[in-house]
Amino acid sequence: MAVLRSVQGGAPDRVDGFELAYVTRDGEQARVALAEAWSLRLERAEPVRRLASYRGQRHLPGRWWSATDQRHVGYESWLERDHLAAFDFDPEVVAIASQPFWLFWMSEAGKTRSHAPDYFLRRGDGSAVVVDCRPVQRRPSRDVEAFEATRVACELAGWEYRLVGAPDPVMTANIRWLAGYRHPRHLLAETADRLRRIFNGPVPLMDGAEEAGDPIAALPVLFHLLWRHELEADLSAPLHQATLVRPVLGPGAAA
Q: Please, are residues 114 and 89 in contact by the beta-carbon 8 Å criterion?
A: no
pLDDT digits (tens, 9 = 90+) for 118-141: 999 999 999 999 999 999 999 999
The residue ranges of every structural domain in the chain are: 2-48+60-164, 169-247
pLDDT of residue 181: 98
Backbone angles phi, psi at 215, to 5 degrees: -65, -25
pLDDT digits (tens, 9 = 90+) for 136-162: 999 999 999 999 999 999 999 999 999
Q: What is the DSSP-derived secondary structure letter of residue 212?
A: T
CATH class of 2-48+60-164: alpha beta
Sign of CA dihedral 27, 64, 88, 183: positive
Say what percent of the chain tops pLDDT 90. 81
Q: How many CA atoms lie within 13 A of 191 on its CB side?
A: 20
pLDDT of residue 253: 52
pLDDT of residue 13: 37
Pairing of strands 119-123, 231-232: unpaired
Sheet holding 231-232, edge to edge: 203-204, 244-247, 231-232
pLDDT tier, 2 (very low <50, low <70, confident <90, very high otherwise): very low
Q: Please, are residues 73 and 66 in contact by the beta-carbon 8 Å criterion?
A: yes
pTM: 0.88
| pLDDT exceeds cutoff 50 at 5 | no
pLDDT digits (tens, 9 = 90+) for 178-231: 999 999 999 999 999 999 999 999 999 999 999 999 999 999 999 999 999 999
